[in-house]
């Protein structure tokens, strides 16, 4: 079988000249004429050539929202080498560096805007968070370190303490002379804060609270600043006085003091340990704290929502222990809001890096065997990245709205129980969406950049490691979505309560008929008529904003109505049966909440469109919004089909329409990430510079020169082909 090829003259076998696919596959008849794995560009007209570029500057300002100046100023801190993350530091070095960086932030006064002017702030809660969200661009560890100090520890004193507390403790908190802990979470209880087991028992004889950790499960866990730097802590504990447990309250507790050796040590009655290495955020010194009958003065109770008189009498402006608890926790909603915003910022970075690389990098030849295809021209690459880009835009607009709401409540402009509850629900819906988006975007970007994506110098892996825990802390994402789902059920219940009984019965009966007897709902019948037309017309219909809205809203409403109906028997069931019934619908409820959160993002995206003045920019952005809407519908297409909301005929157009949107957006992808406002200096990823383009230029130049001077060797395959053309026979075996 050995075929000796006397180089430069022997012809090749005809049967063996079929193009082989470059990725290791061998195609065969009758499909051998297919182009190889390497696939071709979308039609090659770039917006630059047609002069139809979008208005990046104006769009950037809209994206950066109301506090765009503060946001950009914070982002630009990332240009300062002293404020950047260094990937190669040890945990110890990283912790020290982040502490030093935090001191710089304190000195700049940049992190104090939310505090009242009396203590050196600006009374600007929204602007503060806008800037704070961007600290993740510098280093997520720095953001969390700052968040622990000024967002949690300091905010607890601000929102739960009285004026005397502010006067005594806020100055040291703001200037970071007193680094502090927010000691809420315990080993035994994470999301279920109401069940923590640390106790603060009032002792009338000394007018002190005795802070105590009775069991291992009650140790404070994952507490930032606990391992090393914390000097004081706000400790959450069950307040017990006169034999009654009044629920969770917060106490200001000194935990470390300088001793004779000049070092900081735990004060007597406090112990702790170091959590050591984590999946990321290695610049934050998390640890455990626990207490052995530690005594603090009565006045260290942060007493805005509950106080104890010297004689031990408890009082509160809120008589319901449950409502009091949620009111206290609600004052700390900014943690959730700002993590959500940080996740959006990091999602933008991930896509900016992946798009920069994907629009430079070429791999596999396409129609032209001498020219390799740009990654971003592959349909699969577009499928991987562009829907994430649409999600990131949607998340950005939704975050801007959330921040406006936050500012309205915390500036006092619209501060009522109802506004606070709405804000909390919005934050609970936003944070799961944005933090999971960040992980999805970072991972897809990482994979889309191949081996280069795995190098620490390209940032994606480090950012993903840091952002990983954002889906867990400040409220586990699944727990938050369940909370949103329960709120939706409550609201639905309120709505139903308004309808007269007969109306409700009719409503339920109509739904039942729809669901079980396959009766054609009106909407579907109308659609079937439309669907006799062309697919293009159906697709056009799906592009209408009102159609998207109707479909997205309908899903949320119908799911909630269905769950509410299914849960009705729980009202008269035993606790065990009721709990089992609820559990049987838990997954569905969480999915309904997710759809609700996605609808909120879709609505925010849609609401932002009219603010874009340039028609071309608005058109492209509308296409991106459509991509967001259509991919949501595509994701839940089975539901729309099963429930008669979309005909089988129209459903088939969804995916092909998404493909069309991808092609339309392809030429604008660089501009769409440029509008995020992250320069290579912010991104600090080697592949987000022009190194890849430069390497390609060098390669092209080299091969051009080789050909020009006649030094390029002839390819064996081409040799075979030319020998065949010249009629030479195949050499003997």
Q: Does residue number 453 form part of the binding site for a second copy (CB under 8 A)? A: yes
- Using the rule CB under 8 A, is 451 a contact of a second copy? yes
Nearest to 479, CA basis, from 357, 336, 613: 336
By the rule CB under 8 A, 630 interacts with a second copy: no
Sole binder of a second copy in the list 696, 722, 724, 728 (CB under 8 A): 696
If the CB atoms of residues 143 and 400 are measured against a second copy, the closer one turns out to be: 143
Applying CB under 8 A, the site for a second copy has a residue count of 184
Residue 112 CA, chain-centre distance (Å), reads: 25
Q: Are 609 and 625 in contact (CB under 8 A)?
A: yes
Smallest separation, CB 65 to a second copy (Å): 26
Q: Within positions 381 to 440, which residues make up the interface with a second copy, using CB under 8 A? A: 383-384, 421, 424, 428, 439
Is 474 a known active-site residue? yes
Rounded-to-integer distance, Cα 374 and Cα 615, Å: 29
Beta carbon nearer to a second copy, 36 or 622: 36
When asked if residue 475 is in the footprint of a second copy (CB under 8 A), the reply is yes
- Candidates 72-80, 452-460, 603-611, 664-672 — which segment interacts with a second copy by CB under 8 A? 452-460
CB of residue 180 vs a second copy: minimum separation in angstroms? 20
Which span sits near a second copy by CB under 8 A: 45-53, 63-71, 240-248, 613-621? 240-248
Region binding a second copy by CB under 8 A among candidate stretches 17-25, 46-54, 64-72, 344-352: 17-25
In the range 548-587, which residues lie near a second copy by CB under 8 A?
564, 567, 570-571, 574-576, 578-580, 582-587
Nearest-angstrom CA–CA distance, 203 and 622: 64
* Residues numbered 648-677 forming contacts with a second copy, rule: CB under 8 A: 648-649, 651-652, 659
Residue 276 in the binding site for a second copy (CB under 8 A): yes
Closer to a second copy at the Cβ: 83 or 469?
469
Residue 80 vs 694, nearer CB to a second copy? 694
**How far apart (Å, rounded) are the C-alpha atoms in residues 135 and 113?**
14
- Choose the stretch contacting a second copy; rule: CB under 8 A; options: 49-57, 74-82, 243-251, 389-397: 243-251
Among 265, 293, 707, 717, binds a second copy (CB under 8 A): 717
Q: Which residue, 204 or 619, is less far from a second copy as judged by CB?
A: 204
Are the C-beta atoms of 408 and 66 separated by less than 8 Å? no
**Half-sphere exposure at residue 235, Cβ-oriented, CA atoms within 13 angstroms:** 35
Our CB check for a second copy shows the closer of 90 and 260 to be 90
Q: Which of the ranges 7-15, 99-107, 288-296, 519-527 carries the binding residues for a second copy, by CB under 8 A?
A: 7-15
Q: Which of residues 328-347 bind a second copy (CB under 8 A)?
A: 329-330
Shortest Å distance, C-beta 259 to a second copy: 28
Residue bearing tokens 């909301």: 645
Per CB under 8 A, 680 contacts a second copy: no
**Do 203 and 488 touch, CB atoms closer than 8 A?**
no
CA 284 to CA 264: how far, in whole Å?
18
Give me the residues paired with residue 301 across strands. Answer: 251
Q: By rule CB under 8 A, what string of x and - marks binding of each residue 193-232 to a second copy?
A: -xx-x----------------xxxxx--xx----------
**Does 80 help bind a second copy (rule: CB under 8 A)?**
no
Instruction: Verify binding: residue 159, a second copy, rule CB under 8 A.
Output: no
**Nearer to a second copy (CB atom), residue 175 or residue 204:** 204
- Separation in Å, CA 466 to CA 35, 85, 439, 448: 42, 11, 10, 20
| CA distances from residue 486 to 284, 433, 492, 588 in whole angstroms, order as listed | 34, 17, 10, 12
Cβ proximity to a second copy: between 128 and 241 the closer is 241
473: left (phi over 0), alpha (psi -120 to 50) or beta: beta
**368, 404, 415, 550: which one binds a second copy (CB under 8 A):** 368
Least Å distance between CB 658 and a second copy?
9
Q: Does 35 bind a second copy (CB under 8 A)?
A: yes
576/628 Cα distance (integer angstroms): 41
Query: Beta strand 232-241 with 180-183: parallel, antiparallel or unpaired?
Result: parallel
Q: Which of 268, 185, 287 is nearest to 229 (CA)?
A: 287
Q: Which of 458, 462, 440, 436 is nearest to 449 (CA)?
A: 458
Cβ closer to a second copy: 501 or 522? 501
Site for a second copy, residues 517 to 546, rule: CB under 8 A? 518
Residue 6 or 610 with smaller CB distance to a second copy: 6
Among 4, 50, 205, 416, binds a second copy (CB under 8 A): 4
Looking at the Cβ atoms of 19 and 60, the one nearer to a second copy is: 19
End-to-end CA distance of the chain: 6
Please report how close the Cβ of residue 614 comes to a second copy at its closest, in angstroms. 30
* DSSP secondary structure code for residue 252 in this structure: E
Q: How far is the CB of 672 from a second copy (least distance, A)?
A: 20
Residues in CB range of 15: below 8 A, 6 or more apart: none
Cβ atoms of 465 and 577 closer than 8 Å? no
> Is beta strand 232-241 parallel, antiparallel or unpaired with respect to 199-203?
parallel
> Does the protein bind a second copy through residue 689 (CB under 8 A)?
no
Active-site annotation holder among 474, 591, 598, 692: 474
The Cα–Cα gap between 51 and 384 comes to: 27
CA distances from 441 to 351, 477, 605, 623, 633 (A): 7, 17, 18, 20, 20
Residue 313 touching a second copy (CB under 8 A): yes
- Residue span binding a second copy (CB under 8 A) among the ranges 224-232, 288-296, 540-548, 693-701: 693-701
How far apart are CB 581 and a second copy at their closest, in Å? Answer: 8
Peptide bond into 30 cis (omega under 30): yes
- Residues whose CB is less than 8 angstroms from the CB of residue 241 and which lie 6 or more positions away in sequence, other chains included: 201, 202, 308, 312, 313, 314
Tokens for 299?
């006045």
- Which residue in 71, 112, 249, 720 binds a second copy (CB under 8 A)? 720
Give the residue carrying structure tokens 């502090």: 180
Distance, CA of 532 to CA of 3 (rounded, Å): 61
User: What is the distance between the alpha carbons of residues 499 and 510, in angstroms, rounded to a whole number?
Assistant: 15
Our finding on whether 16 is near a second copy (CB under 8 A) is yes
Residues in the chain: 733
Examine residue 29 and tell whether it contacts a second copy (CB under 8 A): yes
Residue 393 neighbours by CB distance under 10 Å: 28
CB nearer a second copy, residue 41 or residue 254: 41
How far is residue 615's CA from residue 627's CA, in Å, rounded to a whole number? 18
Q: Is 297 a residue that touches a second copy (CB under 8 A)?
A: no
377 forms part of the interface with a second copy (CB under 8 A): yes
- Our CB check for a second copy shows the closer of 69 and 655 to be 655
If phi over 0 gives left and psi between -120 and 50 gives alpha, with beta otherwise, what is residue 475?
A: left
Judged by CB under 8 A, which stretch of 149-157, 276-284, 339-347, 620-628 contacts a second copy? 276-284
At closest approach, how far in Å is the CB of 109 from a second copy? 32
CA distance 588 to 135: 36
Pairing of strands 199-203, 264-266: unpaired
Name the nearest CA neighbour of 420 among 409, 407, 411: 409
Q: Is 698 in the site for a second copy (CB under 8 A)?
A: yes
Is residue 727 a contact point for a second copy (CB under 8 A)?
no
Phi, psi at residue 411, to the nearest 5°?
-85, -10
Chain residues 481-510 in contact with a second copy, contact rule CB under 8 A: 482-483, 486-487, 489-490, 493-494, 496-497
Select the span of 394-402, 539-547, 597-605, 635-643 touching a second copy (CB under 8 A).
Answer: 635-643
Catalytic residues: 474
């Amino acid at each position: 079988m050995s075929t000796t090829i006397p180089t430069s003259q022997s012809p090749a076998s005809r049967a063996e000249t079929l193009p082989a696919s470059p990725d290791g596959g061998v195609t065969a008849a009758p499909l051998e004429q297919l182009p190889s794995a390497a696939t071709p560009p979308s039609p090659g007209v770039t917006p630059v050539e047609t002069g139809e570029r979008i208005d990046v500057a104006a769009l950037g300002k809209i994206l950066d929202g109301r506090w765009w100046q503060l946001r950009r100023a914070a982002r630009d801190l990332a240009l300062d080498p002293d404020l950047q993350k260094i990937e190669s530091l040890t945990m110890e070095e990283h912790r020290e560096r982040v502490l030093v960086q935090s001191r710089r932030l304190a000195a700049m006064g940049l992190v104090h805007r939310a505090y009242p002017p009396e203590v050196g702030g600006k009374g600007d809660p929204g602007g503060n968070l806008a800037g704070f969200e961007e600290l993740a661009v510098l280093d997520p560890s720095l953001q969390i370190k700052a968040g622990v100090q000024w967002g949690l520890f300091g905010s607890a004193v601000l929102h739960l303490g009285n004026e005397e507390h502010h006067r005594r403790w806020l100055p040291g908190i703001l200037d970071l002379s007193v680094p502090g802990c927010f000691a809420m979470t315990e080993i035994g209880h994470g999301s279920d804060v109401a069940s923590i087991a640390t106790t603060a028992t009032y002792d009338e004889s000394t007018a002190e609270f005795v802070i105590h950790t009775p069991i291992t499960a009650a140790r404070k866990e994952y507490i930032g600043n606990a391992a090393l730097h914390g000097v004081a802590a706000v400790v959450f504990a069950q307040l017990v006085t006169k034999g009654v447990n009044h629920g969770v309250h917060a106490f200001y507790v000194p935990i470390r003091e300088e001793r004779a050796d000049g070092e900081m040590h735990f004060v007597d009655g406090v112990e702790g340990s170091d959590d050591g290495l984590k999946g990321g955020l290695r610049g934050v010194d998390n640890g455990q704290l626990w207490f052995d009958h530690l005594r603090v003065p009565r006045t260290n109770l942060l007493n805005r929502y509950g106080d104890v008189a010297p004689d031990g009498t408890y009082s509160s402006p809120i008589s319901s222990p449950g409502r009091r608890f949620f009111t206290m926790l609600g004052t700390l909603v900014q943690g959730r809001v700002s993590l959500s915003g940080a996740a959006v910022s990091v999602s933008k970075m991930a896509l900016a890096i992946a798009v920069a690389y994907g629009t430079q990098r070429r791999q596999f030849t396409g129609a032209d065997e001498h020219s390799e295809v740009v990654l971003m021209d592959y349909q699969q690459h577009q499928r991987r990245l562009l829907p994430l880009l649409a999600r990131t835009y949607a998340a950005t607009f939704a975050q801007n709205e959330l921040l406006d709401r936050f500012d309205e409540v915390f500036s006092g402009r619209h501060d009522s129980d109802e506004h606070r509850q709405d804000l909390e629900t919005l934050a609970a819906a936003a944070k799961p969406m944005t933090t999971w988006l960040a992980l999805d975007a970072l991972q897809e970007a990482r994979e889309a950049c191949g081996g280069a994506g795995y190098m620490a110098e390209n940032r994606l892996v480090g950012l993903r490691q840091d952002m990983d825990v954002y889906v867990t802390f400040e409220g586990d994402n699944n727990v938050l979505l369940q909370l949103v789902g329960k709120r939706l059920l409550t609201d639905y219940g309120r709505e139903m309560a308004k309808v007269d009984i007969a109306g409700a019965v009719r409503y339920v009966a109509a739904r039942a008929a729809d669901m079980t007897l396959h009766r054609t709902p009106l909407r579907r019948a109308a659609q079937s008529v439309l669907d006799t037309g062309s697919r293009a017309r159906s697709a056009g219909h799906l592009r209408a904003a009102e159609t998207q809205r109707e479909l997205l809203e309908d899903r949320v409403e119908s799911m909630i109505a269905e769950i509410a109906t299914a849960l009705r028997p729980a009202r008269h069931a035993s606790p065990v049966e009721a709990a089992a019934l609820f559990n049987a619908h838990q997954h569905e409820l969480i999915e309904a909440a997710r759809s609700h959160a996605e609808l909120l993002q879709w609505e925010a995206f849609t609401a932002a469109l009219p603010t874009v003045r340039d028609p071309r920019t608005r058109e492209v952005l509308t296409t991106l919004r459509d991509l967001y809407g259509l991919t949501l519908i595509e994701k839940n297409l089975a539901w729309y089909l099963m429930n008669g909301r979309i005909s089988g005929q129209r459903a088939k157009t969804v995916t092909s329409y998404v493909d069309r949107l991808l092609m339309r957006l392809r030429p604008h992808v660089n501009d769409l990430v440029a509008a995020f406002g992250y320069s290579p200096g912010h991104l600090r990823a080697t592949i987000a510079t022009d190194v890849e383009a430069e390497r390609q230029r060098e390669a092209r130049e080299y091969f051009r020169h080789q050909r020009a001077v006649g030094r390029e060797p002839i390819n064996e395959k081409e040799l075979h082909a030319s020998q065949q053309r010249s009629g030479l026979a195949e050499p003997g075996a």
